[in-house]
């Protein structure tokens, strides 16, 4: 950011050679696709295809999901070997036991071991197991992550603090179509005898995408 001090209105024209810090309330120009989304939504409401209330409810349901749901799935798999086996064999059916529906998608759960590390990306857009993890983080949708996760995944992992030995196979999953992926991280050492709730509190979003390991 520029160091020169200015006393003028920050919501002005920006063509004067220095940057301003982002301002949450600054008026924004809508992008082409934002304008199109608004136009299509208003048209569908005007034609009674759905109501504004339906849109509000759908947004609320999406916002209500968060990584705690995925963490509950992971903690159950760590404590219940039969559930773990069902989860790896048919993720969609196994998470339904816990009340989670994958809608039209199928869930594939990929397990990290001492010899195999799994990493999830969607190079085409932002496919993500939203039913279990909520909305994806901004970096997951960034062009940098989407291209580098397939091209130089070990460098990307290192930036997240995850260093893999050469004896560990790194398997990148490009989520291009109808499957959705959840990484089952390795259970950390020193958690023997922990309750499912206590284990679930350890499991963060990033280790279920595969950019980190799960730590105590």
Partner 1 sequence: MSAVEPRFAPGARVRVRRADAPGHIRTPWYIRGQTGEIERLCGAFPNPEELAYNRPGLPAQPLYRVRFRQRELWPDYAGPAADTIEVEIYQHWLEPAR
Q: Which positions lie near partner 1, rule CB under 8 A? A: 106, 123-124, 150-155, 166-167, 169-179
**Closest distance of CB 117 from partner 1, Å:** 10
- CA dist list (Å): 111 to 21, 120, 183: 42, 12, 6
**Closest distance of CB 160 from partner 1, Å:** 16
Nearer to partner 1, 121 or 200 (CB): 121
Nearer to partner 1, 60 or 178 (CB): 178
Catalytic choice (2, 31, 122, 147): 122
**Closest distance of CB 147 from partner 1, Å:** 9
In the residue annotation, 207 being an active-site residue is answered as: no
Catalytic choice (125, 142, 147, 195): 125
In the residue annotation, 126 being an active-site residue is answered as: yes
Nearer to partner 1, 79 or 123 (CB): 123
Helix (H, G, I), strand (E, B) or coil at 116: strand
Nearer to partner 1, 37 or 152 (CB): 152
* DSSP code at position 110: E
Catalytic choice (3, 31, 48, 126): 126
Q: Which residues contact 87 (CB under 8 A, 6 or more apart)?
A: 73, 76, 77, 94, 95, 109, 184
C-alpha 160/C-alpha 156 separation (Å) is: 7
Contact call for residues 116 and 189 (beta carbons, < 8 A): no
Helix (H, G, I), strand (E, B) or coil at 133: helix
**Closest distance of CB 64 from partner 1, Å:** 27
Distance, C-alpha 164 to centroid of its chain:
22
Nearer to partner 1, 86 or 148 (CB): 148
* DSSP code at position 189: T
- End-to-end C-alpha distance for the chain, whole angstroms: 38
**Closest distance of CB 211 from partner 1, Å:** 16
CB atoms < 10 A from the CB of 134, how many? 19
Task: Return the active site residues.
Answer: 122, 125-127
């Amino acid at each position: 950011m520029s160091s020169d001090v200015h006393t003028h209105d920050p919501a002005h024209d920006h063509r004067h050679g220095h940057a301003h810090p982002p301002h949450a309330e600054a008026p924004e120009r809508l992008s082409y696709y934002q304008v199109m989304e608004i136009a299509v939504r208003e048209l569908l409401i005007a034609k009674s295809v759905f109501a504004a209330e339906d849109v509000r409810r759908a947004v609320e349901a999406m916002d209500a999901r968060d990584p705690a749901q995925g963490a509950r799935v992971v903690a159950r798999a760590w404590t219940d070997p039969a559930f773990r086996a069902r989860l790896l064999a048919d993720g969609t059916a196994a998470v339904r036991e816990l009340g989670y529906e994958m809608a039209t998608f199928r869930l594939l759960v990929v397990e990290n071991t001492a010899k195999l590390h799994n990493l999830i990306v969607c190079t085409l857009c932002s496919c993500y197991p939203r039913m279990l993890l909520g909305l994806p983080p901004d970096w997951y949708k960034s062009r940098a992550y989407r291209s580098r996760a397939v091209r130089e995944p070990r460098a990307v992992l290192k930036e997240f603090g995850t260093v893999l030995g050469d004896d560990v196979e790194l398997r990148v999953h490009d989520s291009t179509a109808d499957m959705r992926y959840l990484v089952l991280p390795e259970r950390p050492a020193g958690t023997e005898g922990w309750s499912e709730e206590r284990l679930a509190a350890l499991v963060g979003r990033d280790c279920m995408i595969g950019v980190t390991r799960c730590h105590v």
